[in-house]
Amino acid sequence: MERTLSLIKPDGVEKNLIGEVIKRFQDHDIKIVAMKMLHLNRKQAEGFYAVHREKPFFNSLTDFMTSGPIVALVLEGDRVIELNRKLMGATDYTKAEEGTIRRDFASSIEQNVVHGSDAPETAAFEIGYFFNSFEIVG
């Protein structure tokens, strides 16, 4: 059993996609074991995306991620890291497979609706970034 961090980004919340994204998780037997809505400040967004600090899109990305509320979820299931990445689709929605969240709803490479941890180590860091042990059930 694995856990992963999912974020519904500000564009996803703005487009009223919270229910749609959660439905897709639940339709694939993914269990939600933690969930909260929050509005990141700049320091929090920069800390979350610290690995991208040197990238040309870093400032734009942190601007975007602080532009409105997000929903953070901890997902649990068999190989859920990979399954969530599959449901999300490629970072660039124009290259994402049909039927993926990003292909269906993203509006740019940056405003791509969802985030999902990409490996067990990043999942552990990212879950801990948003949730303490008392906020995760089961």
- Residue list 48-107, contact with ligand ATP (CB under 6 A): 57, 61, 91
Task: Name the residue with tokens 């906020």.
Answer: 135
Q: Which amino acid is at 64?
A: F
Strand partners, 75: 4, 32
- For residue 28, what is the DSSP state? T
Is 39 among the catalytic positions? Answer: no
Residue 116 near ligand ATP by CB under 6 A: yes
The verdict on 3 binding ligand ATP (CB under 6 A) reads no
Question: Which of 92, 131, 112, 113 is closest to 20 using CA atoms?
Answer: 113
Whole-number minimum distance, CB 52 to ligand ATP, in Å? 6
Catalytic residues: 115
Residues near ligand ATP (CB under 6 A): 57, 61, 91, 109-110, 112, 115-116, 118
